[in-house]
Amino acid sequence: MRRRICLALVALLSGVAPSLYGQDQKAEVQKRLTSQFTRTRMTSDRTDVAKAGSVLELHKDGLFMCSIEAAAVPTSTYKNGTISFGFGASLSWTMALSTANQQVANIAQRKFVTGEKFWVTDYLAKDDGVYFQFYSDPLNNVRYYGQLKFPFQKGKFPPADDVMKTIAEVLTVDNGTDDSQPQEPAAAVGAQAPNDSGAAPKTIAVGQTIDQVVTILGQPQKIVNLGTKVMYYYPDMKVIFVDGKVVDVQ
């Protein structure tokens, strides 16, 4: 009898140990994600960035995203070195849209490719994989969002080192940005740039071109290029251009 009890306990513990290990690895991955990526917070209507976080650069083709007008976010998958948006994912997305009385044909869609950049708004380690959510800057007046899953067998969470290595194959923080760092207090659009020399203040206004701003303020300390959106960083302000013209000064 005692032998049977001992054998039963051994069998039970042998089953529990991998589960506990998997939970430990999942917690470790979430910890590393938090230390490596800063979440971007969008406005309540999702049309603009309320608080900038990490800008990510894509290293694989085929990340499917759709307009933020869609009621449901599409989920692509990264497996065996390839990003895909397969039949199952497409069907699930179509059904989710239909419950909100939306049709796929009426939603703007786009596949992002290697070298493109976007904001990361969320990341979460779940039992069946790691999920990321992204928002792009407006492209031809359309802001896109999408989700990417790094899957693995449910209940068998791989080592944290392996998970982070796989993620790095696809996504890395853009080295040209430092959006996780707090910014200096913002200056209002059209406000006068600080000037300690006693000379006439320098004024930046909406609609000015990049050349006009450089003529007034000089070359910036840092430039962040996000396609149609470009940010020039100066010691006391950040100037934001869209399509080559000032849209905001912070």
Question: What is the residue-averaged pLDDT of the chain?
Answer: 84
Number of structural domains found in the chain: 2
Location of structure tokens 């200056």 = 187
Q: State whether 212 and 142 are in the same domain.
A: no
* pTM confidence score: 0.65
Q: Is residue 153 part of a domain?
A: yes
Helices (H) and strands (E) counted in the chain, each on its own, are 4, 17
Q: State whether 75 and 159 are in the same domain.
A: yes
List, for residues 52-82, the tens digit of each pLDDT value: 999 999 999 999 999 999 999 999 999 999 9
* Mean pLDDT confidence for 197-222: 78
Residue 54 one-letter amino acid: S
Q: State whether 56 and 153 are in the same domain.
A: yes
| CB contact at 8 A, 68 and 146 | no
Identify the pLDDT of residue 73. Answer: 97
Q: State whether 123 and 59 are in the same domain.
A: yes
Q: State whether 169 and 205 are in the same domain.
A: no
* Mean pLDDT confidence for 23-49: 93
Q: State whether 157 and 220 are in the same domain.
A: no
List, for residues 133-178, the tens digit of each pLDDT value: 999 999 988 999 999 999 988 778 899 999 999 999 999 998 764 4
| CB contact at 8 A, 141 and 124 | no
Six token digits for residue 68: 């933020």
Location of structure tokens 């969320």 = 122
Range of the domain at 224: 201-249
Q: State whether 143 and 58 are in the same domain.
A: yes
Q: Is residue 57 part of a domain?
A: yes
Q: Is residue 5 part of a domain?
A: no
